[in-house]
A and B are shown apart, each in its own frame.
Chain A
Amino acid sequence: MKQVININYHGRIIPIEVTAYEMLKNYTESLQLHFKDEEGKEEIINDIESRISELFQEQLSKGSICITENDVNAIIKSMGKPEELESEPIINHNQSGNTRQEKHSSIPKRLYRDENNKLIGGVCSGLANYFNIDIVIVRIIFIILFFSFGVGLIPYIILWIAVPSTATKEIGSLRKKLYRDTEDKLIAGVCSGLAHYFGINVWIPRTLFLLPLLSLTFEWNHFINVSPSSIVFYIIFWLVMPEAKTTSEKLEMKGEKVDMNSIKNTINEEMKGVKERAENLGAVAGEKIKDIRKDSSSAFKRLINVFIDVIVFIVKFISYTTLTIIGLALVIFLLAMTFASFVAIPFKDYILNGFWQNSFALGTLLFFVILATVGIIVALIKKIAGIKTKNKWVTTTFIALWVLGWISLFGLASTLGNDFSKMSHRDNNEREISISQPTNGKLIVNFNKKPYFYDDKDKEIHFFEALDLFRDSIFIDNVDIKVLRSLDDSFHIRMVNSAHGRTRFAADTTAAAIRINTSQTDSIFTFDQGIFITKKQKFRNQQVAVLISIPVGKSIRLPKSNSIANYDDNVWEFQNWNNEKQTNQEFQMTNEGLMHVEDMNKIDRIDKMNKLDSLIELKKKIQKETAEQGAVPKSI
């Protein structure tokens, strides 16, 4: 059911469908545009419209009840669309020699997007036409703006949306246009307009705009971190989208079905088009740049040349450098991994447990590390020597094995991580060691000597300072000293074992198995500085903390290799640096904290000096006053 209106068209009453009327109006408007600069344009258009009215009459007298869209279409076809009209006069009439070919220049300059000349949205084309500069220059400007922090992107998008395209100048094009629907508005009809355009329910865009705002109000997880921007977008849409006032505009708003499929198709075609145009443009741009360079007559163009050269150079330089750095880093990393893996081989049995872990480790070593290193080295050699082997199978096998390597790596990491995930309880593994209080108030702490074996049977490899590899076990220095202030006036020593494991129970078991030998002679207390771990026991980050509580006023001497590593919450943690031999290992516990005895002596001395100084001052003062006052001594 279509709405029909009556029009008084050049002396005849014509019943015509509303949509057909709109087409007619569009056609007339386009003719107006076409004949803008024509002498006697009113007469021409008048004649044409008269003729159309005549044709309408004929149609009606043939028996039609009203003029339909089809009728109008046919008439437009026979009258000719503006771009089909041959309008250039050969004879010299009172006509400005403006060629009608360039529609853009004869019409008073309005900014359009040129969809016939577009790469993405025709924005640069339109601007180039409007300002009469070469399109390549405009595109370059946009690209530069884009790369300076994306400044160019937003204006481009705004222009794309706001500037009409030349396609809308075609008559009869009932393109769906984006209008605001002020009849169905909550605030400004933005969401309604959007809904009409996309053919979706109006509450969908409304929800999309409101959702981020809700998250702001209720402080939900701010994963939709766009709450203020949704307001900004709404305002932008409000400003940019025109209101659909006239019927034709309202029709255009609701117009042809633009559903997801058609949008998808349009986007697909546009994207394909963009790719093709980009490729074409690449070729064209190359030539254009050559052209621009050739014509270096103007200083401006020379400047552009230099500019282009500089930019091209910078881009190339940056990309090559980045790629090289990444490549080098990758190679170094892989080489380091290979080396580390080989170094770690003797230790593998102390860490890895079971068939799967071992297999994963082997897989990682072979396929991930070694393969990649070999692959990269081979590729480099090929590149340098210029060898090209197009053997697909080799590449495929390489990649397949490397994927296997990745899988092994993940397997290894996860199973191994599991083994270290839980830590043992503290309570079960803490014990107090009974000691006798040193008579002179100073406790001397020493490490037992580390085990050395000179027997050939038990070969030893001294790896790091804290790790010694024996034939069937390893010795790790895992004992740390922590000093606290004692709550009474006696020394106390406690030991806390800790370990990790797949379960807390496993961790506890491992921790309980730690054996540290201790002994005390007079005021010297010694203990092992580490433990042996056998292949059966596995390394599971076993640690021992020796907690020494010192009463205030008493002192301690610690082993030469220990120095303060950390102080936290009244606990002084010491680290056993096997290399650094400290000289000053006498400490005294005071109310203010643990202090070096030497420092304390220094402070004492300084204190005494200060006191002495003030006494001297005082004495001088008295003598002066006595001298001034005569013989009367002031009472001090």
Chain B
Amino acid sequence: MNIENTASQMRKGILEFCILSVIKQGEVYPSDIIEKMKSANLNIFEGTLYPLLTRLKNAELLTYRWVESNSGPPRKYFSLTEKGNEFYKELESTWNELSDAVKTITTQNQ
């Protein structure tokens, strides 16, 4: 068993949830998302983020609009769709269940 593999699997499980959370808080563009995740100590490569965003958008959980910027070409600003909102709520409850369960089990061990 590879520790990196397992850890990476854990991360993958929660990445989508975290990204959706950030977007839920307000309309953002990708580098904002990276910043916010960084400040919460969850580092993610832009190369990982962009494909995820695209997938979520293709699944109609996200939508974006182009916003002109003063320096250079327009940027994409992402926000949650209705579907995305519901999806997020489900993920949130799943996460809560899981994190409670894990907390219980790990504290039982000690």
Contact = CB atoms under 8 A, between A and B. Distances in A.
Interface of A: 10-12, 31, 35, 38-40, 43-44, 47-48, 50-51, 53-54, 57, 61, 78-82, 84-91, 93-95
B45 A85 contact: yes
Contacts of A84: 45, 47
Interface string B1-19: 0000000100111011000
A540 B51 CA distance: 97
Interface in B50-74: 50-55, 57-59, 71-73
B47 A31 contact: yes
A51 B73 contact: no
B96 interface: no
Given A10-B73, A88-B12, A90-B16, A40 B54 contact: yes
B76 interface: yes
Contacts of B99: none
Given A50-B75, A86-B8, A86-B15, A39 B46 contact: no
Given A38-B51, A48-B50, A79-B47, A90 B58 contact: no
A48 B13 CA distance: 23
A39 B55 contact: yes
Contacts of B76: 47
Chain B contact patch, size range: 20 to 34
Contacts of B50: 44, 47-48, 51
Given A39-B58, A47-B30, A88-B12, A80 B46 contact: yes
A85 B58 contact: no
A471 B57 CA distance: 117
Contact of B72 (A54, A90, A93): A54
A43 B71 CA distance: 21
A48 B47 contact: yes
Q: Which of B11, B15, B57, B58 has the most CB of A within 10 A?
A: B58
A91 B72 contact: no
Contacts of A80: 45-48
Contacts of A31: 47
Contact of B46 (A48, A61, A89, A93): A48
B11 A57 contact: no
A78 B46 contact: yes
Contact of B45 (A40, A44, A79, A95): A79
A90 B30 contact: no
A91 B54 contact: no
Given A78-B45, A94-B59, 18 more contacts: A11-B72, A12-B72, A31-B47, A40-B55, A40-B58, A44-B50, A48-B46, A48-B50, A51-B50, A78-B46, A80-B45, A82-B47, A85-B51, A86-B48, A89-B16, A89-B52, A89-B55, A90-B12
Contacts of A50: 73, 75
22 contacts: A10-B72, A39-B58, A40-B55, A40-B58, A44-B51, A48-B46, A48-B50, A50-B73, A51-B30, A51-B46, A53-B72, A54-B31, A57-B71, A78-B46, A79-B45, A80-B46, A85-B47, A86-B8, A86-B44, A90-B12, A90-B13, A93-B58
Contacts of B72: 10-12, 53-54, 57
Contacts of B51: 35, 38, 44, 85, 87
A87 B31 contact: no
Nearest to B75: A50
5 nearest A-B pairs in the assembled complex, by CB-CB distance: A80-B45, A80-B47, A11-B73, A40-B54, A85-B47
A455 to B, nearest CB: 100
Contacts of B8: 86
A75 to B, nearest CB: 9
A35 B47 CA distance: 10
A605 to B, nearest CB: 106
Nearest to A92: B59
Contacts of B57: 40
A40 B15 CA distance: 20
Contacts of A44: 50-51, 54
Contact of A51 (B12, B31, B55, B58): B31
A31 B44 CA distance: 16
Contacts of A79: 45-47
B28 to A, nearest CB: 14
B52 to A, nearest CB: 8
Nearest to B11: A86
Contact of B59 (A38, A82, A93): A93
A12 B74 CA distance: 12
